[in-house]
Amino acid sequence: MQNILEVHGLQTLYGESHILHGVSFDIKAGETVSIMGRNGMGKSTTLKSILGIAPPRSGSVIYKGEDITRLPTWKRMRQDIAYVPEGRGMFHNLTVKEHLQMAARKNSRGETNWTYDQVLEVFPRLTERLTNKGTQLSGGEQQMLAIGRALLTNPDLLILDEATEGLAPLIRKEIWQVIRQIKDSGVSTIIVDKNIKVLNELCEQHILIVKGKVVFNGDSETLNENKEFIEQSLAV
Amino acid sequence: MDTSLFLVQLLNGVQYGLLLFLIASGLTLVFGVMGILNLAHGSMYMIGAYLAYYFTTLTDSFLLAFIISGTIALVIGIIIERFLIIHLYKRDHLDQVLLTVGLIFIFNATQSYVWGNDPLGVEVPELLSGSIRLTDIVEYPVYRLFISLLCLVVAASMYFTINKTRLGMMIRAGESDRAMVENLGVDISKLFTIVFAIGVFLASLAGIVSAPIVSLVPGMGEHVLISCFVVVVIGGLGSIKGAFVAALIVGIVDTYASVLLPQISSMSIYLLMALILLVKPQGLFKN
Ligand SMILES: Nc1ncnc2c1ncn2[C@@H]1O[C@H](COP(=O)(O)OP(=O)(O)OP(=O)(O)O)[C@@H](O)[C@H]1O
Ligand SMILES: [Mg+2]
């Protein structure tokens, strides 16, 4: 199978502080990949470097065989990447409906895999909130809107940063269900999350980042074999 | 003041207010979306008026002058944003002041060099030069009604564009969180160019349509800029709805003050602003 994403030796700094120390990994098309790690280890920074939000000082990002390391963020997104950031990125002056309308577009091949109605079907809660402003929603609803908005760009690669963080168990379950549905539709997905149990059964590949370095990269089977080491690295 | 004079002044006040809105809306839009306070905004009003003068004289047609000047204004807006304003997004407010005040000097020098310092005037286009009878003894110039109508049409189009179209949603989203707009695959720099060019266009449009009813003099841009600041501050920085309401209030107050209280008329709108800020420190419509 072909790689949708290849990340080579990312070195990323915020001002003077050196955060990523040569992060490398590949992601196969259609696979779902977890990125794990304790707080502040550089998971979000890795995603931001891939997306050009925190451009790496060196290293490269190859997406669908093309070097996108120097492209501006919006152009990468135009190549069918969607990003649900930590904090969800709600617009305080747009309604739920407008969030979805403004984001919706065909993908670069002119296909529409997700429509407005389909998004409301997987997130029925949003239907009752269509005229509310993005920031008036509960945390769970915001997360649903952020994911729904990302889906309406019809991505090939979906990047989710802490999509279930701080949510009630029932809402989490709902969100995991939708992520599963997205996976089944064939979209490649990178998930940063803390719930190893769910990640273990959902993802084909797992990446563990400690202090800006990849210390583990393997499938669920290997993950289970190294369970002790992984849990140790994740314990606070 | 009898009723008919009262009515005429009310119409004048509304017309002036609507014109102020046209200018102030561009100022507040650019500030709200891009975080740029364009002090040269009034210069675009002046340039619009002088271009209208130039092309009316050249072509003998106000309509042609209107179209050509409007187009030139849009192009000027695009050029200023692409080559100058673009360097300001990552800089602080002082740099904004320096650059945009510098632009005022450049535009004023250009005006003075090309058109001189004597007052100039543009004739009201023939088609709109009549008056209509309001009451038995009062007439009102058609051209002023035309200005009001045009401003209302522009205000309505702006309202529609900003609230109902996808471009408007993107512009509002950019006001809220520009990084997230980029994350959704939108070229924010193009969006900013569009917004800035619209702002410049609106100010110039006001200058173009004012040309037949004001005298074109050096410094007309700064004068209008200050009135616009009053409007924007009363309305609430960044709020277009606020600018609309505030512009009408300022227009009407200014007009009546100059008739009823000529001694203090030049400070009336500042008094008004101070009073409103006492009650609503953030302006009428805090964004
Ligand atoms: N904009 C920034 N400027 C400076 N330092 C930053 C910035 N963003 C993050 N950092 C620092 O970089 C390090 C890695 O942060 P990052 O957000 O990538 O961690 P993370 O693994 O996503 O953690 P979390 O689980 O808390 O989200 C942290 O030490 C953080 O303090
Ligand atoms: Mg993070």
The predicted complex's ipTM stands at 0.94
d(CA B29, CA B209): 21
Each residue's pLDDT tens digit, B196-226: 999 999 999 999 999 999 999 999 999 999 9
In a domain, B112, yes or no: yes
Task: Give the count of domains, chain B.
Answer: 1
Contact B182 A91 (CB under 8 A): no
Cα B15 from Cα B139, distance rounded (Å): 15
Bridge partners, residue A159, by sequence = A83, A190
Whether the CA torsion B232, B238, B239, B240 is positive or negative: it is: positive
- What stretches in chain A show pLDDT beneath 50? none
CA distance B277 to B47: 32
pLDDT surpassing 90 at residue B3: no
Q: Classify residue B122: in a domain, yes or no.
A: yes
Number of Cβ within a 10 Å radius of residue B169: 24
Handedness of CA B199, B70, B250, B241 (dihedral sign): negative
Among A88-92, A98-102, B6-10, B35-39, the minimum mean pLDDT is found in B6-10
Number of Cβ atoms within 10 Å of the Cβ of A72: 15
How far is Cα B166 from Cα B58, in angstroms, rounded to an integer? Answer: 40
Interchain contact, B180 vs A51, CB within 8 Å: no
Q: What interhelical angle do B166-176 and B188-210 show, nearest 10?
A: 110
The answer as to whether B19 is a domain residue is: yes
For residue B267, being part of any structural domain is answered with yes
> Which B residues, 122 through 181, put their C-beta within 8 Å of a C-beta on chain A?
166, 169-170, 172-173, 175-177, 179-180
pLDDT at B287: 58
With a CB-CB cutoff of 8 Å, which residues 175-234 of chain B face chain A? 175-177, 179-180, 182-188
Residue B167: inside a domain: no
Res B286: pLDDT: 74
In the predicted model, what is the mean pLDDT of residues B61-68? 96
Mean pLDDT of B98-111: 97
Of the residues A20, A23, A36, A44, which should be mutated to test ligand 1's pocket, given the most ligand atoms within 8 Å of the CB?
A: A44
Domain enclosing residue B54, as ranges: 3-133+187-279
Cβ atoms of B234 and B283 closer than 8 Å: yes
Q: Which of B165, B169, B178 to mutate to test the interface with A (most CBs of A within 10 A)?
A: B169
Q: Is residue B108 a part of any domain in this protein?
A: yes
State which ligand 1 atom lies nearest to the alpha carbon of A38: 25
- Kindly state whether residue B79 falls inside one of the protein's structural domains: yes
- The reported pLDDT for the residue numbered A236 is 72
What pLDDT is recorded for position A235? Answer: 84
- Asked if B240 and B199 count as a contact pair (C-beta separation under 8 A), the reply is no
Q: In this structure, is residue B147 part of a structural domain? A: no
Structure token pair of residue B8: 């005429």
Check residue B139 and give its pLDDT.
86
Our answer to whether residue A221 is catalytic in this structure is: no
The whole-angstrom separation of Cα B154 and Cα B160 is 10
